[in-house]
Amino acid sequence: MSSRTICLTPELHDYMLSVSLRETEILSQLRQETANHPRSNMQIAPEQGQLMSLLVQLLGAKKTLEIGVFTGYSALSVALALPPDGKIIACDISEEYTAVARRYWQAAGVSDKIDLRLAPALETLDALLANGGAGTFDFAFIDADKENYLAYYERSLQLLRQGGLVAIDNVLWHGRVIDPESQDEETIAIRELNDKIAKDDRVTLSLVPIADGVTLAMKR
Ligand code: CA
């Protein structure tokens, strides 16, 4: 019997992956290339990509949003799970990082599904809202600058349809959310969003302690 989440030792984590991870060759190649990147910790865990792929299929998603692309692993995971006419609007500001992403999207044959918008994400989201995008998205993944997490969450909620899902990355922030010494802007922003969602009756939620913590919030 266990009333709390098990602690994953490295060995148990390896076992978990050995009996569950179905990472395609192209995703594996992208992960390996990104592992050498100086900011490789910005890449999501493969089991998290697989969870998102499952969620997108459960939702029957066709239109999704990604806020924070980096080298494209999460968008590739989602794109591979979308139907042929599925679309991702992907927001990032880095030409350099997303150049890697585009190379892999091309190689995987999913480039047509991904509409990369190189601009501050708030501008892209506001433009989507101004152009009648509210209530039209099935899924959103938030994994960009933490200071804007609350603003990304609010806009994503508006853009989602009823029953649509927002997934928010790094909500446990390597444990810093409970460290009173951590008073930097990023940590404070994540705490504020976590506190907000905990009381937010617009959504049904679960915080999944996978990788660095992913909050799943379904729009009611
Ligand atoms: Ca992240």
Q: What is the pLDDT of residues 59-116, one digit of tens each?
A: 999 999 999 999 999 999 999 999 999 999 999 999 999 999 999 999 999 999 999 9
- Tell whether 15 is covered by a domain: yes
Instruction: Please state the length of the chain.
Output: 220
Residue 74 CA to ligand 1 center (angstroms) comes to 10
- Tell whether 97 is covered by a domain: yes
- Confidence (pTM): 0.97
Residue 92 CA to ligand 1 center (angstroms) comes to 13
Residue 160 CA to ligand 1 center (angstroms) comes to 21
- Tell whether 1 is covered by a domain: no
- Tell whether 188 is covered by a domain: yes
Range of the domain at 21: 10-219
Q: How many domains does the chain have?
A: 1
Residue 69 CA to ligand 1 center (angstroms) comes to 10
What's residue 180's pLDDT? Answer: 96
Residue 1 CA to ligand 1 center (angstroms) comes to 32
Residue 60 CA to ligand 1 center (angstroms) comes to 24
Report, as an integer, the average pLDDT of 195-208: 98
Residue 201 CA to ligand 1 center (angstroms) comes to 25
Q: What is the pLDDT of residues 164-194, one digit of tens each?
A: 999 999 999 999 999 999 999 999 999 999 9
Residue 1 has pLDDT above 70, yes or no: no
- Tell whether 22 is covered by a domain: yes
- Tell whether 4 is covered by a domain: no
Residues of the chain with pLDDT > 90, as a percent, come to 94
Give me the CATH number covering residue 103. 3.40.50.150
Give the closest residue to 77 by CA, choosing from 107, 44, 103.
Answer: 44
Residue 107 CA to ligand 1 center (angstroms) comes to 23
Residue 124: both structure tokens together = 């892209």
CB atoms within 10 A of CB 6: 9
Residue 6, helix vs strand vs coil: coil
- Tell whether 5 is covered by a domain: no
- Tell whether 200 is covered by a domain: yes
Residue 126 CA to ligand 1 center (angstroms) comes to 22
Residue 4 has pLDDT above 60, yes or no: yes
What's residue 162's pLDDT? Answer: 98
